[in-house]
Amino acid sequence: MLWNHGESGGKYSPMVHLALVPLKLEGRDLEISFRYRHLQQGCLIWFFVDGDDGFGSIDHLLRIKLLTTGVQLQIDSHSLTSLHPERQNKDQPADKASGAFRLSKKLPRHLVELKTNQWHDIKLVFHQDNVTISVDDETWGHTLQHACFNMTKRKLLWLQKSGNKGLEIDDIRIRNATN
């Protein structure tokens, strides 16, 4: 179990990552699940799935922001075109290794009550260019389709804003998905 509380003192909140390569779990089609709970209001987890950007580097593909009041998704695809119409952050330079620019597509927040002091189960199933995301099986679910989801996944990252009481992450499971 991972328990985190307090502030990082830096630009980003505390984070932990799990590289999939040493676990021999890197792949395109994966099932990822974990459970978490906020121990006070105002906490959040940003869960990132990082993978190949399609141009020779590794970057974010999907971000899931888990708040006590909802879920927000962001798709991060990539392009070599600096003037691509989907490029949002014009100040962010191209990736040093691949020369690709991040195309972030922030989706509207889905209002879902994710109570504090209650465990919530998160599950992602990647299959080709689709990902199905669910919270507590039936509380909330959503399927997204994008070509970037058919890239090899390399790393998982949890960025936490946990407050004084903290938040907990437990029961992380990753496996290669089968049809």
> What does the pLDDT read at residue 179?
57
CA distances from 48 to 15, 34, 45, 61 (A): 10, 13, 10, 7
- Picking from 158, 131, 147, 159, the residue whose alpha carbon sits closest to that of residue 55 is 147
Strands 58-67 and 70-79 come out as: antiparallel
Helix (H) / strand (E) containing 40: none
pTM of the model: 0.91
d(CA 18, CA 16): 7
Q: State how far the alpha carbon of 74 is from the alpha carbons of 25, 40, 117, 118, in Å.
A: 23, 25, 26, 25
Is the CB of residue 15 less than 8 Å from the CB of residue 161?
no
Assigned token pair, 16: 């932990």
Query: At residue 166, what is the residue type?
Result: G
Total residues belonging to the chain: 179
Structure tokens at 46: 């940003």
Dist CA 99 CA 114 (whole Å): 39
* Domain 2-176, CATH: 2.60.120.200
Q: Going residue by residue through the chain (179 aa), what tens digit of pLDDT does each one get?
A: 777 766 656 666 677 888 887 777 778 999 999 999 999 888 889 999 999 999 999 999 999 999 999 999 999 999 999 999 999 888 999 999 999 999 999 999 999 999 999 999 999 999 999 999 999 988 899 999 999 999 999 999 998 888 788 889 999 999 988 75
